[in-house]
Homo-oligomer: A and B are copies of this chain.
Amino acid sequence: MNGVAKARLIIASSEQCADMLYATGFRAPDPFVFLECRGRRAILLSDLELDRGYREARVDDVVSASELERKIILKTGAKPSPAEVIASFLKAHGATRPVVPADFPLGLSRELEGQGIQVKPVLGMFLPERQIKTAEEIILVTKAIRTTEIGMERAFEILRASTIGLRNVLKWGGRVLTSERLRTEIETAILHAGGIPAANSIVACGEQACDPHGRGHGALKANKMIIIDLFPRSATSGYYGDLTRTVVRGKATEEQARLWEICLLGQKLALASLRPGIDGGAIHGEVQGFFTDNGYPTERLGGGKGRWSGFFHGTGHGLGLDLHEPPRFGASRLKAGQVFTIEPGLYIPGIGGVRHEDVVLITPEGHRLLSRISKPFEL
């Protein structure tokens, strides 16, 4: 490989694109250009971001797009398109055939093609170094998890303080406690702890919790299982936390308690298997098999036409500057330094939903739990 072939190009907003944030350490809401070429890293910025870029970006060169534009106008007499400016930046670095992330915008790739730039998408991880967390990153992820735990503690506190009204409706502060109200209180606690609350955090009660992505709405009820899944981002570092707990305000039934317990044993099974070299897909299969053996198969009800029942999502996902980031837990051999959520769930219409989610670091010896908040059941 020569230097030209190895040029890496990203064009994205670092608020949206974790690769960009990882590569530059520079947080900007609008798309900008990053190029790594012959061991040097450069960014091309609009005037709006230029001063901040000089101060904050962890790169070798910060180039002004408007200055480059003026140079092109001096040479050609015509105002160049944004793609022409980017192409000129790339050519000046000898990077006419850079590799780009798989999610590089197709339209822009065509425009650059018209300017003599051939970009080549990388189908797997674009910055594979991201999957092995550094010591500094582990500290930052752990801090984001602590923020998440503060939100979870607030949820427990409010549920404990709630009273049980007519038809088992929970009340708090003199009013009905809804999913929406509890979510707002949790998110307020997360904000005050330095987190950016997720747009779609989950507080789902009873049958609503059988839908793993349903956010939950309306009155929370006593004696029903409530899934609380929080995944805020650190406002300072950009790293994510991700945690799920399942609780009952009041008294659980025996079948709720059994579902909760089997799900927990499934999580323990997964945790006990974690170590470098092991196949995440095999662990997922083991957990699913364990649930089936205990009476909770993964299946569609109603002769295969109705709702899903059982454990019908992945056992976990990579966590870092993206909430869901590579590698896929179920499709990779684990490596020391990777950070994953481990989150088996059981969703049985008629009983309710349970999910237990923690975050682990894969270590040479096995794993280390990064989350530490307990798992209360009845509150």
Contacts and interface: CB of A to CB of B under 8 A. Distances in A.
Q: How many copies of this chain does the complex contain?
A: 2
Given A106-B100, A235-B199, A213 B123 contact: no
Interface string A89-123: 00000000000111111111111000000010111
Contacts of A15: 199-200
A52 B106 contact: no
A296 to B, nearest CB: 16
A50 interface: yes
A199 B196 contact: yes
A127 to B, nearest CB: 15
Nearest to A312: B47
Interface residues on A, range: 35 or more
Contact of A103 (B49, B50, B51, B105): B105
B106 A200 contact: no
A108 B123 CA distance: 8
Interface stretch (A186-194, A245-253, A265-273): A186-194
A104 B15 CA distance: 18
B313 A48 contact: yes
Interface in A229-258: 233, 235
Interface string A183-224: 010011001100011011000000000011110000000000
Contacts of A200: 15, 27, 29
A37 to B, nearest CB: 19
A307 interface: yes
Contacts of A101: 107
